[in-house]
Amino acid sequence: MTSVASAALPRRRPVADLSGLSPEAVREVSEAIAAAELHTSAEIRVVVSRASLVQHPFFSVMWSALVSLVLPWAVVVVWPMSALSILQVQAIIFLIVAGILMMPQMTERAVPRMALKAAARAAAVEAFLAHGVSQTDGRTGILIFVAARERFVEVVADAGVHTPLGPVAWAEICDVVSRQASRGTLADGLVAAVRKAGELLAGPLPQRPGDVNEITDRVVII
């Protein structure tokens, strides 16, 4: 594995629209994979993660601590207080803010965008290894990974395909998912991305006589 590219999915749609795929949509994406691989010896795998990638409350606690540390000092400028009173105010603010940010609907919003992106990238690399994409003959596998709740798409490319195509190709595939999903559905974006991947891979890695399908075309939902 030598390259990872990423892009953000559109945020104007409700999270529910990107949280999963219907059986019909899964079939469409699987058929697109099978069609794309008719023209290339490379292998394409699609994995969609519906679970939250950052599930711990660390960031809720972090923001609560920062607010409770900073806000009372702004108040002191107007209303001078003793050190003990400041500590009491800080404790109260921390409990209030933490209580709000610990609510299920608020916990995810407390996570910085960069942390979500890093989590999506780590999950994509893990899926690349866990679902056999790194074990293809000639190392010609690519993974299109979607973190639906975090709204990130990642492409992980093995050495055999990265060498002839380079990182621009993987960024282009990510952008296709993002653009098409903004116009339609996640399934539309994945189908378009798989077709684009097939077109890009067919040039340097055309299908060879005797090629076998090393990785199932099934879409993995986790």
Judged by DSSP in three states, 48 sits in: strand
Best-predicted range by mean pLDDT among 65-74, 96-105, 131-140, 193-202?
Answer: 193-202
| pLDDT tens-place string over residues 102-113 | 777 777 777 777
Contact 26, 196 (CB under 8 A): no
d(CA 36, CA 194): 7
DSSP for 2-57? -EEEEEEPPSSS-GGGGS---HHHHHHHHHHHHHHTTSBSSEEEEEEE-S-S--SS
Tell me the fold of 3-54+112-221. Diaminopimelate Epimerase; Chain A, domain 1 (3.10.310)
Residue 101: predicted pLDDT? 77
Does the pLDDT of residue 7 top 70, yes or no?
no
Q: What is the helix (H) or strand (E) element at residue 114, kind and residue range? A: helix 113-130
- The per-residue pLDDT for 164 is 93
Are 41 and 137 contacting, i.e. CB atoms less than 8 angstroms apart? no
Q: How far apart are CA 202 and CA 207, in angstroms?
A: 7
Q: Given this model, what pLDDT does residue 198 score?
A: 95
Domain boundaries, the chain: 3-54+112-221, 58-110
Mean pLDDT over residues 29-50, rounded?
95
40, pLDDT greater than 90: yes
What is the arrangement of strands in the sheet containing 152-157, beginning at the earlier edge strand?
A: 3-8, 152-157, 141-147, 43-49, 220-221
The predicted model scores a pTM of 0.78
Q: Which residues contact 172 (CB under 8 A, 6 or more apart)?
A: 196, 200
Q: What is the mean pLDDT of residues 44-50?
A: 93
| pLDDT of res. 93 | 84
